[in-house]
Structure formats: structure tokens, C-alpha cells
Copies of this chain bind each other. A is one copy, B any other.
Amino acid sequence: MHKLDELSTVKRSFARSDYLYRSGDKFRSLFAIHSGSFKTQILHEDGREQVTGFQMAGEIIGLDAISTDTHACDAVALESSVVCELPFNKLEALSREIPLLQRHLHKLMSREIVRDQGIMLLLGSMRAEERLAVFLLNLSQRFATRGLSATQFQLRMSRQEIGSYLGLKLETVSRAFSHFQSERLINVKVRTVEILDLAGLQACLNNTR
């Protein structure tokens, strides 16, 4: 497994709002986020934009570029971040030698597919507050996985970015936050979120439309 060391060549640092890559860039590497966080977004010619994901430490970013050897979206740092470059041709070569790595890579890509389909479900069939609840619960869970608090955290993204991700306008996101607060499900002060009632948030989802 120390063969993997020959992979992790470069570490690169990014400030808030720096681009890790841009749509159209030639694809060479995947990136492992070492610290910090990013958003990925698609920009449509007519100016429409869609945030397709928020990625945090430990996650791999850039899988969409394999398909055409060209990055299909932008990746932008949401805060000071460090990423580790993983040259894809080396990764492919190694994964031919190490079946476990091969399997890992496949699972990684498949997991991204499943994640995206979950968001399709969210965008296609949930209402505004349900979407926000899913979003918060997902964040909570990911923070917990990283040994951080599942109930208190800082949002790294704006209302507008959350809205773009959830297919809502920023005002709708803001109102949903306020409503959750008035229901005593969360405390929210701009970007500081405290979840008061995890089960209550989950219950939002079961109220069939």
C-alpha cells in the first residue's frame, strides 16, 4: 500500500474562491481534499448556474472529467483549503496492479452516481423545507464522520449557494431556516447552525406531500 505514496506527489493550497479547476480544463488528475472544502458547479451558457455538490476533507473531486478528458464543471474553494493531486494515469496503472485499489476506485465512482441520484430525488420530488432538512442532516452526518460535532457547525457556503444546490432561491432558503428556528428544530445565526432536534428534522421528510 505504500505504492500509493508515489501517487501523492503534490499538495496545493487554495484561498477562498480560488478555482481548483474550471470547466473545459484538460483533465490530468483527481484531487483528494486534505483540508477545507469546495463547491462544484455547472454554468449553463445562458447564465444559469447549478451547484452540483459541496465537498469536504477526505473526499475525492474531479470524477466527472474522466468521461471526456475535460473537466465538466468548476471547483471553487469555499475556504482556505489544501488538496492532494492524484495523477489519473498513475492511478489507473496502479489500480491494474492492486485489485483492492481498483475496487476502491470503482466504488468511489459508483458512490458519486448514487449520491447524484439522491439529489435528483430531492430536486424532483421534495418541497423546500424537506430539501433543506436533507441538506442539514447530510452535513451533520458528514461532520460527525470526521469526528466533529453533528449538532453544531459553521456553514461554509452562502444562502445563494445552498439555494442553487437545492434548486431554490436564496430567499426561500432563508425563510426555511427561519421557519426551522421558529419550530425549535435548529438555532441559526447566519452561518452558525445548531441542530436542536435531529429527529424532528428527520420527521420533516416523512410528511408526504
Residues of A within 8 A of B (CB): 42, 44-50, 52, 63-68, 72-73, 92, 95-96, 99, 102-103, 105-107, 109-114, 116-121, 123-126, 164-167, 205-206, 208-209
CA distance A9 to B29 in the complex (A): 35
- Give every chain B residue within 8 A of A164 (Cβ-Cβ): 124-125
Q: How far is the CB of A206 from chain B (nearest CB, A)?
A: 5
Q: Known contacts A164-B124, A167-B124; decide if A117 and B67 are in contact (CB<8 Å).
A: no
Copies of this chain, count: 2
Known contacts A46-B208, A48-B126, then 11 further A-B pairs from the complex at CB < 8 Å, ordered by chain A residue: A44-B125, A46-B205, A48-B125, A49-B125, A52-B121, A92-B99, A92-B106, A112-B113, A120-B123, A123-B167, A125-B164
A66, A72, A102, A209: which has the most chain B beta carbons within 10 Å?
A: A66
CA distance A110 to B206 in the complex (A): 32
B123 touches A42 (CB 8 A): no
- Give every chain B residue within 8 A of A99 (Cβ-Cβ): 92, 96
CA distance A142 to B125 in the complex (A): 26
A103 touches B92 (CB 8 A): yes
Q: Known contacts A102-B96, A103-B92, A113-B116; decide if A121 and B42 are in contact (CB<8 Å).
A: yes
Q: How far is the CB of A150 from chain B (nearest CB, A)?
A: 22
CA distance A105 to B95 in the complex (A): 13
CA distance A110 to B112 in the complex (A): 9
Q: Which residue of B lies closest to A103 (CB)?
A: B92
CA distance A99 to B88 in the complex (A): 13
B114 touches A67 (CB 8 A): yes
Q: Known contacts A67-B107, A96-B99; decide if A48 and B167 are in contact (CB<8 Å).
A: no
Q: How far is the CB of A75 from chain B (nearest CB, A)?
A: 13
